[in-house]
Structure 1
């Protein structure tokens, strides 16, 4: 865990997210919380991570998502070079229909 991110405000945000029960709750909360550009950027990164795990190449990812190669590289580092495994955790759970 990145201790630079850990604080009471972030804990409160994560508790709020964990309180959401369905996609409708998510849409309502994130529409209030984020700009459409912020939400688009976050969802784009998750799709990029999924495509990277599917062994898609950069050109295909750029074409399909519109993500920059810098964004793809950043996601790739987080996905394969970090020890947080956040993307992997979420993608595996989505794939298996799980929620903790």
Structure 2
């Protein structure tokens, strides 16, 4: 896992803080303070790419709909296939609602 290099109290603090958020509106406020616009655009784009790939869309459809580069689509696909199951866990939970 690539995150292993970053593990520690500071990263745990960040994640524990995120887990304390209670609404989408609180997420908007927190991530607005935490991230730059470009960082948020990248995060939101990657997540949309992951959702579309899981839905079975082609790379070209994903690129057209999200504006993601082929490198981004390929990286997200690699994470879906060989990663830590993070995308799968969240998307599957969202689908259960």
Which TM-score band (shorter chain)?
A: over 0.9
The answer to whether the aligner puts 1:90 opposite 2:58 as a matched pair is: no
Q: CA RMSD in A?
A: 1.0
Shift of 1:55: 1.1
Larger fraction in helix: 2
* Deviation, structure 1 residue 53: 0.6
**Would you identify which runs of 4 or more consecutive aligned residues in structure 1 move more than 6 Å?**
none
Count of equivalent residues = 96
| SS of corresponding position for 1:4 | helix
Residue 29 of structure 1: how far off its partner (Å): 0.2
Residue equivalent to 2:31? 30
For structure 1, the residue ranges without an aligned partner over 5 or more in a row are none
State the structure with bigger RCO (CA 8 A, min sep 6), 1 or 2.
2
Question: Within 2, Cα distance between the matches of 1:92 and 1:78?
Answer: 15
Report the counterpart of residue 12 of structure 2 in structure 1.
11
Extract unaligned runs of 5+ from structure 2: none
TM-score (structure 1 length as normaliser)? 0.91
Query: In the alignment, is residue 45 of structure 1 matched against residue 23 of structure 2?
Result: no
